[in-house]
Structure 1
């Protein structure tokens, strides 16, 4: 599992950084991101543009008011 805290990354760079990290995953692995807001726009972006994204396995948890942990699984072959 790869964990990426994007809270200190400038917002304009967050999605490209997340996409690069997801691309580096092996099939069946999961990218866990920590964000300061619920990443619904990112979920919809992945759902529409990333065929390897397993949207059925997506999970998000609000652990603090400004801390969300989301899991983006990559489809197994």
Structure 2
């Protein structure tokens, strides 16, 4: 079964959103262990800095593997 580009994007976006929520929760717990004190707005901004890269990475890898599957 072949995955469409749209479904690749939907899957990747879902993965990124779930990862973003988990990353924010992890930052809130782990940062204080290292003496990094930030508020929620900073946590959200730090997380957003990685969302675009994560979305592009996931989508491109999904498309690469979809192409390789046909070999």
TM-score, normalised with respect to structure 1: 0.27
Structure possessing the higher radius of gyration over alpha carbons: 2
Structure richer in strand, relative to its length: 1
Structure richer in helix, relative to its length: 2
Q: Say which structure, 1 or 2, has more relative contact order (CA 8 Å, 6+ apart).
A: 2
